């Protein structure tokens, strides 16, 4: 017991007062006034009670004078005050700094009056409520930057749809004359041009705390706003005029955040579903594309084969022409060449016809296997290949014709007629051309073909030159 | 700005126009495109064109659904 310290009563009272000051700087309470004394000084001492307890209160003269409420016994009041211990009497009391009559109090009366007035003007009409955008490109939030409300809203928005930009239009949300500030914040959010929807929000509180949201300035600003407005003021039980005029009323600020954006994951699901259906369509295309590719490859290889065949034929014709003796009559050559040309033309025409048939058979099979009326894509491809074949063959002809022309020129140059032009004569005996004096005797009749005519002559003499003619 | 299904099918819509669409518009359009291609009544080349536009719409919707977190911006007094 020696170690224990004993405080003076004064110290105990001071210590308890300090404790009260720190822990309960202010209390709000409601009850009925049961006793009341007005002191000479003007201070008012009274007791507030309910069914189970009572508390002593002091209302200083200054506060009493500035208050609209005139407390009297039996009145139900709402008080705000500071708990304290009064040292001189050891009494616990609450120093009241705000007192209002409950029930049909001043605020209630004003609320009802303003509500009726604005209702008559049609501000709360259901017909003018606008739908919220499905996914806003920007969200404006009218609230205090320091409160828990903006934090709660941001948490909810990030949970639901984090990529929508959020713009805070900072304003105080409580206190005399703040309504104009709130109205200004609504206009600022609206005119920023960034937002598709506006949330007006405030956390829970007493009727008085929320009162600014019942002021005409706020109600008219919401009404005039060109963007849809969600009101999330107080708790679900608190209904403000701001709630009534807004396009949508949310029971709480967090609920407002839930209403303003869709759940991202749900939308991702929907987009994924559509994408899967699109990919299915792609799969459906694939066999078709495959068939078109195959057909085109088959057509191409066929055309290649045909071209190769023609090339060989023309080549063969050229080499057999080269083998033909220059002595062979030019007419025969021309005749043969003409025949080749005709044959080639007929062949090409026949081949083309054949290929057209093949193409149409392929087309018919494609149409049959797919039941599609329109295979324009494949048709176009086949047409292109057909055109290319025709061009290639035409070009090939031109080249060969030219080659044949050259060949004819060369043949002309070595033709016997050309030799005759130079003054030589062709000698024939008995209808056969001769190139030797052997076998020709005196008195034989020979024919000499000249450039421009035929001479018939008789051999007068016959000499054979030494070393010649024995070849 | 809205885009009709016809203009999509006729290949008159560029990717820039698609990227300006609001989410719900793009989603609605995607639904019509997918349904009409699935119906099988379109000619082949229109189907392919519609498939391409469908893919672009999916890309735009994906961008709108990005997980990127936006910061809170405070509107200035005179903003």
Segment A135-172, tens digit of pLDDT? 998 999 999 999 899 999 999 999 999 989 999 999 99
Rounded to 5 degrees, φ, ψ at A291 are -60, -45
Rounded to 5 degrees, φ, ψ at A243 are -60, -40
Q: Do A267 and B65 touch (CB under 8 A)?
A: yes
d(CA B72, CA A259): 18
Instruction: Examine the pLDDT at A215 and tell me if it is beyond 80.
Output: yes
Structure confidence at residue A202 as a pLDDT band (50, 70, 90): very high
> A291-336: per-residue pLDDT in tens?
777 777 777 777 777 778 888 888 887 777 666 555 555 666 677 7
Residue B2 contacts A where some CB pair is shorter than 8 Å: no
- Sort out which chain A residues have CB atoms less than 8 A from B43's CB and list them: 374, 376
Search chain A and give the residue with CA nearest B32. A274
> A17-57: per-residue pLDDT in tens?
999 989 999 999 998 898 999 999 999 999 999 888 999 99
pLDDT given for residue A221 in this prediction: 97
Phi/psi-derived region of residue A458, left when phi > 0, alpha when psi is between -120 and 50, beta in every other case: beta
> A358-388: per-residue pLDDT in tens?
777 777 776 666 655 556 776 777 788 788 8
- Sort out which chain A residues have CB atoms less than 8 A from B47's CB and list them: 281, 285
Listed in sequence order, the residues at least 6 apart from A416 whose beta carbon sits closer than 8 Å to its beta carbon are A327, A426
Highest mean pLDDT, choosing among A239-248, A280-289, B25-34: A239-248
Q: Is the pTM of this model over 0.80?
A: no
- Residue A199's SS3 state is strand
Which H or E element spans position A455?
strand A454-458
Q: What share of chain B is helix, strand, coil (3-state, %, to 5)?
A: 60, 5, 35
> A426-440: per-residue pLDDT in tens?
888 888 888 888 888
Structure confidence at residue B78 as a pLDDT band (50, 70, 90): very low
Instruction: Examine the pLDDT at A81 and tell me if it is beyond 80.
Output: yes
Search chain A and give the residue with CA nearest B25. A134
- Who has greater pLDDT, A469 or A275? A275
Kindly list the residues of chain A whose beta carbon comes within 8 Å of any beta carbon in chain B.
133-135, 137, 140, 145, 150, 154, 158, 162-170, 188-189, 192, 194, 264, 267-268, 270-271, 274-275, 277-278, 280-282, 285, 288, 372, 374-377
End-to-end CA distance of chain A: 165
> Which one-letter DSSP state was computed for residue A280?
H
Highest mean pLDDT, choosing among A185-199, A352-366, B37-51: A185-199
> A217-261: per-residue pLDDT in tens?
999 999 999 999 999 999 888 899 999 999 999 999 999 999 999
Other CB atoms within 10 Å distance of the CB of residue A9: 9
> A388-429: per-residue pLDDT in tens?
878 877 887 788 788 777 777 776 666 767 777 777 888 888
Pick the closest to residue A66 from A97, A38, A25, A87 (CA basis): A97
> Which one-letter DSSP state was computed for residue A83?
E
> Which one-letter DSSP state was computed for residue A175?
S
pLDDT given for residue A144 in this prediction: 95
Pick the closest to residue A63 from A100, A23, A26 (CA basis): A100
Average pLDDT, chain A: 85
pLDDT given for residue A379 in this prediction: 72
Q: Do A168 and B67 touch (CB under 8 A)?
A: no
- Sort out which chain A residues have CB atoms less than 8 A from B61's CB and list them: 267, 271
Q: Do B79 and A192 touch (CB under 8 A)?
A: yes
């Amino acid at each position: 017991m020696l170690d224990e310290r004993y405080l003076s009563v004064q110290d105990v009272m001071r210590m308890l007062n300090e404790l009260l000051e720190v822990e309960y700087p202010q209390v709000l309470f409601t009850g009925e006034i049961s006793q009341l004394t007005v002191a000479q000084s003007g201070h008012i001492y009274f007791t507030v009670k309910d069914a189970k307890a009572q508390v002593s209160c002091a209302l200083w003269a200054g506060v009493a004078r500035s208050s609209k409420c005139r407390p009297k016994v039996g009145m139900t009041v709402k008080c705000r005050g500071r708990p304290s211990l009064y040292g001189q009497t050891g009494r616990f009391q609450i120093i009241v700094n705000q007192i209002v009559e409950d029930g049909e109090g001043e605020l209630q009366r004003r609320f009802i009056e303003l509500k009726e007035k604005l209702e008559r003007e049609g501000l709360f009409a259901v017909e003018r409520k606008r739908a919220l955008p499905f996914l806003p490109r920007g969200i404006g939030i009218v609230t205090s930057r320091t409160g828990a409300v903006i934090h709660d809203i941001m948490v909810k928005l990030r949970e639901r749809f984090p990529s929508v930009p959020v713009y805070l239009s900072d304003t105080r949300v409580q206190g005399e004359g703040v309504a104009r500030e709130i109205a200004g914040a609504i206009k600022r959010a609206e005119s920023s041009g960034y937002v598709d929807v506006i949330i007006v929000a405030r956390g829970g509180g007493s009727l008085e705390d929320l009162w600014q949201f019942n002021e005409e300035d706020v109600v008219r600003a919401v009404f005039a706003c060109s963007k849809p407005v969600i009101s999330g003021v107080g708790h679900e039980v608190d209904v403000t005029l701001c709630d009534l005029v807004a396009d949508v009323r949310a029971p709480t600020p967090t609920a407002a955040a839930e209403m303003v954006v869709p759940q991202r994951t749900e939308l991702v699901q929907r987009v994924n579903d559509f994408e899967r259906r699109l990919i299915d369509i792609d799969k459906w295309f694939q066999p078709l594309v495959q068939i078109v590719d195959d057909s085109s490859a088959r057509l191409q290889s066929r055309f290649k084969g045909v071209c190769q065949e023609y090339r060989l034929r023309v080549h063969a014709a050229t080499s057999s022409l080269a083998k033909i003796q220059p002595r062979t009559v030019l007419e025969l050559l021309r005749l043969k060449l003409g025949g080749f040309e005709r044959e080639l033309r007929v062949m090409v025409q026949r081949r083309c016809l054949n290929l057209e048939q093949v193409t149409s058979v392929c087309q018919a099979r494609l149409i049959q296997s797919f039941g599609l009326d329109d295979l324009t894509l494949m048709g176009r491809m086949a047409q292109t290949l057909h055109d290319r074949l025709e061009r290639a063959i035409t070009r090939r002809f031109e080249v060969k014709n030219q080659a044949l022309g050259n060949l004819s020129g060369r043949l002309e140059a070595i033709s016997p007629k050309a030799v005759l032009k130079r003054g030589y004569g062709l000698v024939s005996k008995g209808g056969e051309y001769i190139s030797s004096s052997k076998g020709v005797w005196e008195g034989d009749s020979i024919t000499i073909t000249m450039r421009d005519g035929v001479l018939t002559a008789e051999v007068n003499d016959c000499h054979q030159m030494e070393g010649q003619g024995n070849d | 700005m809205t885009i009709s299904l016809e203009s999509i099918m006729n290949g008159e819509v560029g990717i820039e126009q698609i990227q300006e669409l609001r989410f719900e518009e793009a989603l609605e359009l995607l639904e019509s495109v997918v349904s009409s291609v699935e119906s099988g009544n379109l000619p082949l080349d229109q189907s392919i064109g519609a498939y391409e536009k469908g893919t672009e719409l999916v890309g735009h919707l994906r961008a709108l659904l990005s997980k990127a977190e936006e910061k809170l911006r405070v509107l200035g007094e005179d903003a």
